[in-house]
Chains A and B, each alone.
Chain A
Amino acid sequence: GQQVMQIPQYQHVQEGEDFTTYCNSSTTLSNIQWYKQRPGGHPVFLIQLVKSGEVKKQKRLTFQFGEAKKNSSLHITATQTTDVGTYFCAVMTTDSWGKFQFGAGTQVVVTP
């Protein structure tokens, strides 16, 4: 069945450093969404990627969709304490119309 893996599970970052988290699928994806969940909060939508090789930027966040549409990455530059939280990818495959499968998430801790 469909497998979605996020790596790393845990990321400890010094304030000001960059880091990248990855989302990998065993099957070709229709699209992928990224969400951020602050401690004690609920997931909040960040971005959606649809096209092969697509790159989207939101200030210090850069999202990329792989050419084969099986993987995606989220890169954060100059990490700030406000970046603390868990980042989830949510994927939809071509044979699961309307249904999203979430990865286990990357928990990010930022040290001042």
Chain B
Amino acid sequence: GAGVSQSPSNKVTEKGKDVELRCDPISGHTALYWYRQSLGQGLEFLIYFQGNSAPDKSGLPSDRFSAERTGGSVSTLTIQRTQQEDSAVYLCASRQPPGTSGRRSYNEQFFGPGTRLTVL
């Protein structure tokens, strides 16, 4: 596809269950981001991948959250033992490699449609 895709689009789960959220970035985009957006709020940074490595995991709220990326493409965000406060829209974004014009040039982030997670 031409854009970033995420699955599932909606996920309803019971408190204490584990969930996996998937992100398929745009082909060739080396950087991949996960954000969380609660109702009416801004975007909360969770984790960032450059290739398969995660230089910055500082935004993960707790050790119940983990993410991985394989083959420099698909990424999975896993939430273990979900809590009601985990309910939110989880957004994934991807970005082209930085420019090579001699100075840093960070291109736009392309967002997926998000996964709406509801923990009952």
A contact set with B: CB distance below 8 Å: 30-31, 33, 35, 42-45, 48, 50, 88, 90, 92, 96-105, 107
Contact = CB atoms under 8 A, between A and B. Distances in A.
Given A98-B55, A101-B45, A102-B42, A43 B31 contact: no
Nearest to B92: A42
A97 B31 CA distance: 12
Given A88-B42, A88-B43, A45 B108 contact: yes
B109 A33 contact: yes
B109 A50 contact: no
Nearest to A45: B108
Q: Which 8 A-B pairs have the closest CB atoms?
A: A45-B108, A104-B42, A102-B43, A42-B111, A99-B56, A105-B42, A43-B111, A102-B42
B106 A31 contact: yes
A100 B33 contact: yes
Contacts of B48: 98-99
B39 to A, nearest CB: 12
A33 B108 contact: yes
A104 B40 CA distance: 9
Contacts, number: 57
B25 interface: no
Nearest to B48: A99
Given A42-B91, A42-B113, A42-B114, A103 B105 contact: no
Given A43-B111, A45-B108, A98-B55, 15 more contacts: A30-B104, A31-B104, A33-B106, A33-B108, A42-B111, A42-B112, A43-B43, A43-B91, A43-B93, A44-B111, A45-B109, A48-B106, A100-B45, A102-B44, A105-B42
B7 to A, nearest CB: 14
Query: By CB atoms of chain B within 10 A, which of A90, A92, A107 has the most?
Result: A90
Given A100-B33, A102-B35, A92 B106 contact: yes
Contacts of B65: none
Interface in B2-35: 31, 33, 35
